[in-house]
Amino acid sequence: MNSRETALWFGERDNFLIITHRRPDGDTLGCAAGLAQGLLEAGKAAFILFNPEATARYMPYVQKHWAPVEFIPSYIIAVDIATPDLFPENGKPYESAVSLAIDHHPSNSGYASLSCLDMTKSSCGEIIYEILMALSGRIGTETASSLYVAVSTDTGCFAFSNTNSNTLRVAAELVDAGAPIGEINKDLFRKKAKSRILLEAMITAGMEFYFDGAVAISIITRAMMNKTGAGENEMDDVASIPTSIEEVIVGITIRELTGPSDCKVSVRTTPLVNANDLASKFGGGGHAMAAGFSLNVSAEEMKRKLLDTLGEIFPLKIGC
Amino acid sequence: MNSRETALWFGERDNFLIITHRRPDGDTLGCAAGLAQGLLEAGKAAFILFNPEATARYMPYVQKHWAPVEFIPSYIIAVDIATPDLFPENGKPYESAVSLAIDHHPSNSGYASLSCLDMTKSSCGEIIYEILMALSGRIGTETASSLYVAVSTDTGCFAFSNTNSNTLRVAAELVDAGAPIGEINKDLFRKKAKSRILLEAMITAGMEFYFDGAVAISIITRAMMNKTGAGENEMDDVASIPTSIEEVIVGITIRELTGPSDCKVSVRTTPLVNANDLASKFGGGGHAMAAGFSLNVSAEEMKRKLLDTLGEIFPLKIGC
Residue A312 half-sphere exposure toward CB, CA atoms < 13 A: 7
pLDDT, mean of residues B169-193: 94
A165 with B175: Cβ contact below 8 A: yes
| % of chain B exceeding 90 in pLDDT | 78
pLDDT: which is higher, A197 or A268: A268
Give the tens place of pLDDT for each residue, B182-213. 999 988 988 888 788 888 888 887 889 899 88
Average pLDDT for residues B228-256, to the nearest whole number?
A: 89
Closest partner CB to A204 (pick from B185, B197, B240): B197
Return the SS3 of B97.
coil
Q: Per-residue pLDDT tens for A47-64? A: 999 999 999 889 999 999
CA distance A265 to A219: 9
Nearest to A245 among B171, B189, B197 (CB): B197
Out of B160, B169, B201, closest to residue A169 by CB: B169
Per-residue model confidence (pLDDT) at position A165: 98
Residue A219: its pLDDT value, please? 95
Minimal C-alpha gap between B186 and chain A (Å): 7
What is the per-residue pLDDT for B257? Answer: 87
* CA proximity to A179, closest of A66, A21, A37, A20: A37
* pLDDT confidence bin for B315, thresholds 50/70/90: low
**Distance of residue A273 Cα from the nearest chain B Cα, in angstroms:** 16
**Is 90 exceeded by the pLDDT of residue A260?**
no
pLDDT at B27: 97
As a whole number, the mean pLDDT across chain A is 93
Which of B175, B190, B270 comes nearest A244 by C-beta?
Answer: B190
pLDDT cut 70: percent of chain A above it: 98
Buried b (16+ CB within 10 A) or exposed e, B19-33: bbbbbbbbbbbbbbb
Nearest CA in chain A to B161: A182
Query: How large is the average pLDDT for residues B100-127?
Result: 97
pLDDT at site A15: 98
Average pLDDT, integer, range A294-315: 90
pLDDT tens per residue, range A61-94 = 999 999 999 999 999 999 999 999 999 999 999 9
pLDDT score recorded for residue A10: 98
- Higher pLDDT, residue A190 or A39: A39
User: Is the pLDDT reported for residue A320 higher than 60?
Assistant: no
Q: What is the pLDDT of residue B260?
A: 66
Interface test with A, best of B199, B237, B246 (most A CBs within 10 A): B246
Give the lowest-confidence range in A15-19, A57-61, A99-103, B233-237: B233-237
The reported pLDDT for the residue numbered A244 is 87
Residue A285, SS3 per DSSP: strand
In this prediction, residues A214-232 reach a mean pLDDT of 91
Least CB–CB distance from B159: residue in A157, A194, A270: A157
CA of B226 to nearest chain A CA: how many angstroms apart?
19
Query: Which ranges of B42-104 does DSSP label H, i.e. alpha helix?
Result: 59-62
CA of B15 vs chain A CAs: smallest distance (Å): 34
For range A288-315, the mean pLDDT: 91
Phi-psi region of B228 (alpha: psi -120 to 50; beta: other; left: phi over 0): alpha
Averaged pLDDT, B110-120: 97
Contact indicator for B311, B214 with CB cutoff of 8 Å: no
CB A24 within 8 A of CB A53: yes
What is the rounded average pLDDT for all residues in chain B? 93
Q: How does pLDDT run across A111-145, given as a tens digit for each residue?
A: 999 999 999 999 999 999 999 999 999 999 999 99
**Mutation for B interface: A122, A145, A169, most B CBs within 10 A:** A169
B-chain CB neighbours of A158 within 8 Å are: 157-158, 168, 171, 185
Q: What confidence score (pLDDT) does residue B236 get?
A: 78
pLDDT given at position B318: 42
From start to end of chain B, where are the E strands? 16-19, 46-48, 75-79, 100-103, 114-117, 208-210, 215-220, 250-256, 263-269, 285-286, 290-295
Q: How confident is the model at residue A317 (pLDDT cuts 50, 70, 90)?
A: very low
Q: How far apart are CA A272 and CA A288, in angstroms?
A: 10
Which chain A positions have a beta carbon within 8 Å of B181's beta carbon?
A: 163
A186 and B244 in contact by Cβ < 8 A? Answer: no
Is pLDDT at B320 greater than 60 in this prediction? no
pLDDT of res. B195? 86
